[in-house]
Amino acid sequence: MVYRESYIKELQAFKDKKIIKVITGLRRSGKSTLLKMFIDELLKEGINQSQIQYLNFELMKYDRIRDYKTLYNLLKDSFIEGKKNYLFLDEIQQVNGWEKTVNSLMLEYDVDIYIAGSNAYLLSSELATLIAGRYVEIKMLPLSFKEYYSYFHSLSSKGKDELFNDYLKYGGLPQLLELAQNEETINLYLSSIYDTIILKDVLEKNKLKDVNLLKRIFSFLCDNVGSITSANNIANYISHESKLDKSMRPADVSNIISMLENAFIIARCGRYDIKGKEILKSLEKYYIADTGLKNIMSRYTLKNYGHTIENILYLELIRRGYKVYVGKNQTKEIDFVAINKSETRYFQISETILNEETLKREIAPLKNTNDFYEKTIITMDKTFATNINGIKIVNLIDFLLS
C-alpha cells in the first residue's frame, strides 16, 4: 500500500474534535484503505481495539442495516462507557437516514466519527442542517504521481519518464499497484471500475434509464478535456450525431453532467475574471478525476496528450489545496488561476515551449495582469531556462515530484 500521508495529516488535525470527518471521492480512490490506515495509527498510539468500530456497508454482513434506527441500536450497544470511542462508517450512503444516527451519537456519547462515501449526495442538505458547522469534508483523489512514483521506482527498472507515461496512460487508482503491469490487465480493470461507477453511482442513484446517453455525454467530456464546454454544444453534438436525439434538451445534458459530478468522476472548473477578481458563471471546463478512466473512453493518443497533461496539472493543484479556475484576462485565457488562503498563482501548461511562436502564445496571457502574483509555465521540456521575464519555467514531472 502507498501511505497517503497528506490525508492522514488532515485526519490527525481533526482527531478527537467534535467534528465529523467526511471523506468523499471517486469510487476506488482509496477511501476505505485510508480509514484502515488511520485505524492502524490509532492502534499505534495505544487506543484499544475495543474502542474502535469499523463498518463497511458494501459488505453482506451489514446488508440488514439499511435504516437509521437499526444502525443506532447496533452502534450504541458496542460503545465502551467512560472511554473515547472511534467510529468508522464506510459507504454510509447505503443506510437511509444515517445522518440522524450520526447526529444523535455525537450528542449522546464520547465518540469520534469518520465516514466515507462515493457520492456527493452524502453531504445532502439534511446533513448540513442537522450538523451545520460540525463536519469537515476531506476530498480524496487517486494517487498523485509522487505517490505512484514512490511505489514503483524501487520495484521497476523504468526511469521516471517511463513511469510518468504509464501514470498518464493508466491513472492512479490505488489497486493498479496490485495488478500485473500490462495493458490488457489494466484496461480490463479500468473498464470494470468505469462500468461500476456508471451503473452504481450514477444510474442507480439517480434512477436514470438511458445508459447510452450517459456514456455518450461522459465520452464527449473525456474527448474535450480542457475545452470550454456547455450543455448546449453537447446537446447539439449528440443531436447531430444521432437521428434519434433530435429533441435532445440542454437541461437534460446539464442534469447528467451534475450526476457525473456527484459521483466524483468529473470536476467542473469555472472561470475567473482577472481584472474584476470575480468568478464567472458560464463557459466552464471539465476535467476527469483519473486519466486512466479518461483514456478508457478517449484512448491514449498523441492527439490528446496535451489535454491529458493539463488534466494531470489540474488534479495536482486541487491536491495541493488550491481552488482552481480558468483565468480570463480580457480577451486572453490563463490555463489555471490557483487560489488558497495565502496566495494566488497563475499557471500555463504546454507540452513544449521550445518553438518561438508557442512561447509567445503562452506568455501573452500572463502579461498585463496588473498584479504581482507568481506566474509559472509548466512544460514537458527539459531545459536550463528557469525564468523568462519573471515567469518561472518548470518541467511538469519535476513539479509533480516537488
pLDDT tens for each residue of 120-155:
877 775 655 776 678 899 999 999 999 999 999 888
Whether residue 311 is predicted with pLDDT greater than 80 in this model: the reply is: yes
Predicted pLDDT of residue 244: 54
User: Pseudo-torsion of CA 68, 72, 78, 80, nearest 10°?
Assistant: 130
Q: Which helix (H) or strand (E) holds 53?
A: strand 52-56
pLDDT for residue 70 is more than 90: yes
pLDDT per residue over 84-120, tens digit each? 999 999 999 889 888 889 989 998 999 999 999 988 8
Report how far residue 209's alpha carbon sits from residue 207's, in angstroms, rounded to the nearest whole number. 6
**Residue 298: pLDDT band with limits 50, 70, 90:** confident
Average of per-residue pLDDT across 308-324: 97
pLDDT tens for residues 159-205?
999 999 999 999 999 999 999 888 999 999 999 999 999 888 899 88
pLDDT confidence tier of residue 357, bands split at 50, 70 and 90: very high
Q: Is 228 left (phi over 0), alpha (psi -120 to 50) or beta?
A: beta
* Mean pLDDT, the chain, whole residue set: 91
CA 304 to CA 187: how far, in whole Å? 18
Q: Given this model, what pLDDT does residue 56 score? A: 96
Sheet containing 135-140: give its strands across: 52-56, 85-90, 111-117, 20-25, 135-140
**pLDDT for residue 246:** 60
Share of the chain above pLDDT 70, in %: 96
Predicted pLDDT at 289: 97
CA 147 to chain CA mean position, Å: 15
Q: What is the CATH number of domain 5-140?
A: 3.40.50.300
Band of residue 238 on the pLDDT scale cut at 50, 70, 90: confident
Q: Which residue, 292, 313, 284, is CA-closest to 224?
A: 284
Task: Residue count of the chain, please give it.
Answer: 402
Tell me the average pLDDT across 317-329.
96
Q: Give the mean pLDDT of 7-36.
A: 95
Instruction: Report the candidate in 19, 319, 268 with the shortest Cα–Cα distance to residue 143.
Output: 319
Q: Residue 32: its pLDDT value, please?
A: 95
Question: In the structure grid, which three cell numbers stand for residue 323, read together?
Answer: 481552488
Look at residue 42 and tell me whether its pLDDT is greater than 70: yes
For residues 302-326, give the mean pLDDT.
Answer: 93
Per-domain boundaries in the chain:
5-140, 145-401
Kindly give, in sequence order, each residue whose CB lies less than 8 Å from that of residue 37, ignoring residues fewer than 6 positions away.
Answer: 1, 3, 4, 8
Indicate the pLDDT class of residue 262, thresholds 50, 70 and 90: very high
Residues with Cβ within 8 Å of 289's Cβ and at least 6 positions away in sequence, in order, are 25, 26, 29, 141, 142, 264, 265, 266, 267, 315
Contact 348, 365 (CB under 8 A): yes
Residue 252 above 80 pLDDT? yes
For the residues of 268-291, what is the DSSP string, one character each?
EEEEEETTTTEEEEEEEEEEES-H
The whole-angstrom separation of Cα 146 and Cα 402 is 8
